[in-house]
Amino acid sequence: MIERHMVSTAFEIPGYTAEKSLGVARGIIVRSRSVVGSIGASLQTIFGGNISLYTALCERAREDAYERMVAQAVSLGGNGIVGMRYDATEIAPGVTEVLCYGTAVLLRNT
C-alpha cells in the first residue's frame, strides 16, 4: 500500500527521487444517486446551503477512485504517485463517473 504522503499533485515529492516512471495509474468509479437520496437532497436544496447528502456521495466516490488508483500503482510496482488529479463526468442523468489518476513512480530517499 502507498501511504498518503507518497501521493502528490505536484510532480515530485520532497526528500525523494523518482528512479523510474511506471506509467499512468487510474481509478474509476461510477456512482448513481438513489431515489431516496435524490428526494432528501431535493429537500435540502429548498433551504439552500451545503447539500450534505451529495457531499457525502461525492466524498465516497472520490475516496473509492483514489483507492483504486493506489491499488493499480502498487500492481505496477510503484511506491509513490505524482501528478495526481481528479476528473468527473456525468455520463447519464444522475450517473457520474469519477476518475482519479496520476503517474506511478518508484521512489527512493535522497
What are the grid coordinates assigned to 85, written together? 488529479
Interval 20-56: pLDDT, tens: 999 999 999 998 866 555 555 565 566 666 777 778 8
- Answer for the pair 100, 81: CB distance below 8 angstroms, yes or no: no
- Answer for the pair 94, 2: CB distance below 8 angstroms, yes or no: no
Q: Count CB atoms within 10 A of the CB of residue 73.
A: 29
- The confidence score (pLDDT) of residue 15 equals 97
Mean pLDDT of the chain: 89
- The confidence score (pLDDT) of residue 34 equals 60
pLDDT top residue among 32 and 78:
78
**Range of 35's domain?**
4-109
* Per-residue pLDDT band at 8 (split at 50, 70, 90): very high
**CA dist., res. 21 & res. 105, Å (int):** 5
What percent of the chain has pLDDT above 90? 67
Structural domains in the chain (count): 1
What CATH number is attached to the domain comprising 98? 3.30.110.70
